[in-house]
A and B are shown apart, each in its own frame.
Chain A
Amino acid sequence: MSDIGNARLKFYCDEHRCISCDGCSVACAEAHELPANINRRKVVTMNEGIFGLEYSLSIACMHCTDAPCEQVCPTDCFYIREDGIVLHDKDKCIGCAYCLYACPFGAPQFPQDGAFSIKGVMDKCTMCAGGPEETNSDKERELYGQNRIAEGKVPVCAAMCSTKALLVGDSAEISDIYRERVLSIGHGAKTQPYGWSTAYGSKI
């Protein structure tokens, strides 16, 4: 178990598993009731239709430790939680899009219908952790969507991921999961740890 006090929450998308089903992006949009043109999460497919070269990845805000968006913001609306989640305050945001320049992943989104509409100004993935408003308040939900982290739930994209390509959580745990995947290569199907050979014989 990792030290909760020092946890840094991260996303990881396993390109060997991602099948670009868009379960993550649709679950995100649905859960946070996003306007049609806001893509907090997007699945990107490269070299579509070409054998050996096609691969897909699910991309959202990567919640950088040294977040460029935070550094360039003229109104200083970003703040980074102790667990590493990068959030911003929509009441301070002026929608200038400097963060979009700075972001290496194209994460910041800007509603086409203006700063005063639903989700207003700049919008991005919150890792399902809401915003600076009172936790699980109506205003938080209205501006930032669900706060699943406060409820002890996994972000909805990773929860929905059909092949468990998209992982989220403490970076130490994610690397444990990925390490297990790598080390299990070629070792056969995961066997039941509950003593099957004793109960049923090893042959079956």
Chain B
Amino acid sequence: MANTWGYGAMTNSLGDIQNAKAIIIFGANPAVNHPVGFQHFLKAKERNNAKIIVIDPVFTKTAAKADHYCQVRPGTDIPFMYGMLHLIFKNGWHDEKFISDRVYGMEDVMEEAKKWNPKKVEDVTGVPADQLIQVTTLYARSTPGTLIWAMGLTQHSNGSSNTRLAPILQLALGNMGVEGGGTNILRGHDNVQGATDMACLSDTLPGYYGLSDGAWQYFASSWGVDYEWLSGRFKSKEWMGKKGFTLARWWAGVLDGKDGNDQIHNAGTNLKNLFVMGNGITSIAQQAKVKEGLDNLDMIVLCDPFVNEAAILTDKQDDVFILPAATQFETSGSVTATNRSVQWRNKVVEPMYESKTDHDIMFELAKRLGFYDEYTAGMKIKENKQDYTWPEDATDEIARIIKTIGLTGWTAKRIKSHNENWHMFDQISGRGYGKMKGEYYGLPWPAWTETHGGSPLLYNINRSVAEGGMGFRNRFGLEHDGQDLLAGAGSAPKGSVQKDGYPEITAVNIEEVLGIKLTADEKKRIGKNWKVDTSNIIAEKCMEQGIAPYGNAKARAKVWTFPDQIPMHREPLHSPRSDLAKEYPSFDDKENHFRVDTKYISKQTEQDWSKDFPINLVTGRLVNMNGAGMENRASKYLAALTPEMFCSINPDLAGKYGIRDGSMMWIHSPEGTKIKVKAKYSHSVPEDRIFMPFHFAGHFQGEDLSHKYPKGTKPYAIGESANTVTNYGYDIVTQIPETKGGLCRIEFA
């Protein structure tokens, strides 16, 4: 996403889906994971006659509401999308003008698409050729069409190729930057977009500034701390710029290459302590490895409103600390929704019993580790305060520093005013009226200045920049292979002084691009470029001239820094089709991938996995639970809906193994792990695959861990974690685990 057009976020909004004429959903189940948001899909169907097309290995609740359902084999989204592109280009359904003005590198995609005729797609994906032709015809002709995805598209060893080809499909049809179009990625939990924006990531500073020295310098001065002090916190300066471990593979950092585990590159030492704040690490792939990692730590600290079941999973007896964290009802602050909009959340009650809010826990920790003053300095800078007010000053600090995604407009005062006046906004377009006129609800980022009303629909050139319009971001240079990367003639946002493409705005080019003259004072105060201009001069001047500060460039279909420049099909590491695994092999093994050596081709070719493990394994969510499920399973009424861990299995498959509906079954993984779960007959899965929810914990490889719960904390429902048997495999760019396309073997228990 970010590598295609500048930002990695939902481009439109849930409400805007009502404007779509067709909705295509890849690997997402919004009826279960976004039940309230799903009403917009249903309204699109109701009011707009929008056709819903669902592409999913499992027949979901979303598929039950679809007009067309394509049951693809796990890990074959790329062949399916190329199959669509094949037909689109062949029949001339693509938007030529849009492509020539606003997209770079589509020729290579057209070339690759030629190879994927419907017959071949049928062989690889399992979707009948006729059906592919039918849904492609429907989708290509019903514009605008919106494309939805979630974890079913990303959690693959080539997930980062999947998430590039989906945007390319939308670009080819000219479905970008229009109402009812866009790529609408559904974030799975409350405030995931906000957490990502604030860098709950190991490869960047907040706001996607990266880890370059310049970025560190910018943050040091913006936080009001000494750069030398900051770099002194690292083993040596070079480690400031290195990516850290990820959530998917932190345990490899503990195990340090011992006993055949993957080698790490961590300055000659392994990880010794783990501090977890509100993260269900019992729903991460390869639970046996997570357990091994936990067991080998010196210290574990778990902060959660409920007992984090990592404490139950580990055999570690000493130095495991469980800190009671307050819930969201016991604190206040801003949260960012899936469509990049922000809301203020008010405190309902004071933290109960001995629980503390997350920020208090972090402040206390910073005090004891001796950097509390530096930690809080950034909140006091703006008005040179002696002390800060939480959380308003933190919110204003974010607004002051984060220019890259345009958070300048997100001052605490403005965010609160939106909540207080939320009856003054249209529910579909987000437009405010009355005293909120000129603003969009929640100021969807980028909100370039302190008065900008937000941008509900990314890359829309039919609106002026002041009204939320913009072209694609100029993020990948001015030219590549001798071709201009700036947008074509006439494709600038409405009301702009520049009618064509233009570069991102810097102190050097601002006068030329905007056609203005800066005063001597402005020249003195202006920052180097729009990303670090805390004076806001660049953004303010840009608004006056109708210019997007980040430039107006082409989206790129080709990412020359990735292993595959255009997305290519590669079979999952554990593929049921060994013939296709030879034809479409995985990547070369990757050394030092987020500090861990990661296997691809060597794992795929280690043996013919499909022989011993003939069944595809897919995991997903249930409507009554989220994440690791601890708080849901501790709720009597939610637990009652699914009181036991289960595996959905087709009766024809179950029958072959003598497994009856409701009887117990073993599931074995290629990693040598196993789980014992209850079989649930279901026609939602065909005979070659099974489905399991990933919200359970408290059993491990057949053993009941009930005795390990601290008194009074055992939830109503416990069970095996599906992730004990999810397979090895991580994305080549992001390292997200390959949980949506593994293999397993089953037997009657």
Chain A residues engaging chain B, CB cutoff 8 angstroms: 16-17, 19-23, 25-26, 29-30, 36, 48-51, 54-56, 162-164, 181, 184-190, 192, 194, 196, 199-200, 203-204
Contacts and interface: CB of A to CB of B under 8 A. Distances in A.
Interface stretch (B29-37, B235-243, B482-490): B29-37
B463 interface: yes
B623 A196 contact: no
B61 A20 contact: yes
B115 interface: no
B80 to A, nearest CB: 17
Given A29-B637, A36-B636, A51 B63 contact: yes
11 contacts: A20-B623, A21-B61, A56-B64, A163-B38, A185-B49, A192-B426, A194-B433, A196-B429, A199-B433, A200-B431, A204-B462
B64 A163 contact: no
B47 A184 contact: yes
What's the interface size class on B, roughly? 35 or more
B47 A185 contact: yes
Contact of A204 (B31, B426, B467, B685): B467
B71 to A, nearest CB: 9
B749 interface: no
B640 interface: yes
Nearest to B37: A162
A203 B640 CA distance: 50
Contacts of A185: 46-47, 49
B257 to A, nearest CB: 44
Contacts of A26: 624, 637-638, 641
B35 A23 contact: yes
Nearest to B433: A194
A17 B42 CA distance: 7
Interface string B47-69: 11100000000010101110001
Contacts of A54: 59, 64
Given A20-B61, A185-B49, A189-B47, A162 B35 contact: yes
B44 A189 contact: yes
A190 B463 contact: no
B365 to A, nearest CB: 35
Nearest to A50: B683
A204 B179 CA distance: 9
Given A26-B624, A26-B637, A49-B682, 9 more contacts: A21-B31, A26-B638, A29-B637, A48-B682, A49-B685, A162-B38, A192-B428, A194-B426, A194-B433
Nearest to B457: A204
B684 interface: yes
A74 to B, nearest CB: 32
B647 to A, nearest CB: 14
Interface of B: 18-19, 31-32, 35-36, 38-39, 42-49, 59, 61, 63-65, 69, 426, 428-429, 431, 433, 437, 462-463, 467, 623-624, 636-638, 640-641, 682-685
Contacts of A187: 47
A162 B624 CA distance: 13
B683 A199 contact: no
Nearest to B71: A51
A23 B19 CA distance: 26
Nearest to B460: A204
B683 A17 contact: no
B39 A163 contact: yes
A196 B431 contact: yes
B623 A22 contact: yes
Nearest to B20: A189
B47 A16 contact: no
Contacts of A203: 462
Contacts of A163: 35-36, 38-39, 42
A197 B19 CA distance: 17
A36 B635 CA distance: 11
Contact of A19 (B38, B433, B624): B38
A19 B65 contact: yes
Given A51-B63, A185-B47, A19 B429 contact: no
B134 to A, nearest CB: 14
Contacts of B637: 25-26, 29-30
Contact of B69 (A20, A51, A200): A51
Contact of B39 (A50, A162, A184): A162
A54 B281 CA distance: 34
A21 B61 CA distance: 9
Shortest beta-carbon contacts, A-B, top 7: A49-B684, A49-B683, A162-B35, A189-B18, A54-B64, A21-B35, A19-B31
A204 B428 CA distance: 13
A181 B43 CA distance: 9
